[in-house]
A and B are shown apart, each in its own frame.
Chain A
């Protein structure tokens, strides 16, 4: 290489750095990790209206829901969970994402109820689908090894499964696929509510019925989350079905009372008071159960 060529190459690389610097500084200083392409337009509009740069919708994890259901004392019933043989039926990206949500919830339930052998089977299903979505290290062999090693230690098990969900969620959001992430969340929610309605049908447990009524709030966040990405056909379809269920939840009335807060000086934990009362009629519960059953059948068969 002559000195002239070397100088030219250095000049070109230096120019590339200058151009890159300008592109990075002129392209807007907001690199919203969770929003990609067309999705960004919707949020930017929302941001202008509210003066908030980024709005997220977050829902409780299936592990949380499973924990609360187990706390009511209802026994484990594997018949309510998705058949592991259905795993091969999920062929599209949207189908795999919904399936991963469903199996993720089933994995949470089997773990909460100490069904380690079945947890391993559901973990395999979750691994199969997450690999199909291009997510590595989420529900893989090392997760299986850790679950095996922590058998009997529920807190550790829940931590391991939560970490897997987080790995999948953060991978998808980092790779500008938040729509896929929202489908996993929707699939997980549908499965959790399906299981809860089945338990309510057989046990008539009023604590479970209250947990189903409380899904009014979570569903509200899920539909807002999906709405951001409804340019995708699968998301639009799930959104439509969930809006149909939401129309029933909209009739579930909420009686609010004044807020109060009190902090325990020993634990430092604040209790947010106020007894909000949800009133769901047996007819509303029946309609929600039927609609959830139909939607769950649609996404698992």
Chain B
């Protein structure tokens, strides 16, 4: 009987820890985006959407979005340092490459479009060179700001 309640206690603590760590990881992305990335978007107004994900080495994320003619945009990828040099490329809806951050070593891209269109942003985390089995994982946020042309 005492052993059973001890087991329950251990499992309860374990589940609470898992839940706590998961929630903390999620809330961390929000905090990183707000504190570290928002200031760099200025003087552009951020578009009000939170696109953030936890990625590990070698992983990718994609955002499909519409950009209007008549506005200037700042596109920014903000990642935790543990992930290394996270890069991004922007393609047209029919997959023609328009911008590649690897070519300019830029963390953000300021642009406008002559005609309203869909663009695809692909974010790539470099493969991890970690020798251990624990692969580093971190937050990646994709932010968009706009301002009048």
Contact = CB atoms under 8 A, between A and B. Distances in A.
A152 interface: no
B36 interface: no
Interface string B127-149: 00000001101000010101010
A54 B55 CA distance: 9
Contact of A19 (B10, B21, B63, B112): B10
Interface string A258-287: 010100000111111111111000000000
B40 interface: no
B50 A170 contact: yes
B144 A32 contact: no
Contacts of A16: 10-14, 17
Interface string A117-151: 00000000000000000000000000000000000
B129 to A, nearest CB: 17
A58 B144 contact: yes
* Size category, A interface: 35 or more
B6 A8 contact: yes
A20 B21 contact: yes
Interface string A1-26: 00000001000110111011001110
B51 A268 contact: no
Contacts of A161: 48
A110 to B, nearest CB: 16
A173 interface: yes
Contact of B116 (A61, A155, A276): A276
A166 B49 contact: yes
Given A34-B52, A63-B45, A162-B48, 10 more contacts: A20-B13, A29-B135, A32-B54, A67-B146, A162-B46, A170-B34, A261-B99, A272-B111, A273-B114, A276-B115
A23 B68 contact: no
Contacts of B18: 20, 23-24, 27
Contacts of B15: 20
Across the A-B interface, give the 8 residue pairs with the lowest CB-CB distance, nearest first. A165-B48, A16-B13, A170-B50, A20-B17, A19-B14, A58-B65, A276-B115, A54-B61
Contacts of B111: 269-272
Interface string B51-78: 1111110011111111110111000000
A50 B59 CA distance: 12
30 contacts: A13-B13, A19-B14, A20-B14, A20-B17, A20-B18, A31-B22, A33-B26, A33-B29, A33-B52, A52-B61, A54-B61, A56-B63, A57-B64, A58-B65, A58-B142, A61-B49, A64-B47, A64-B71, A67-B148, A71-B70, A163-B46, A165-B48, A170-B52, A217-B116, A217-B117, A256-B94, A259-B98, A261-B99, A269-B110, A273-B114
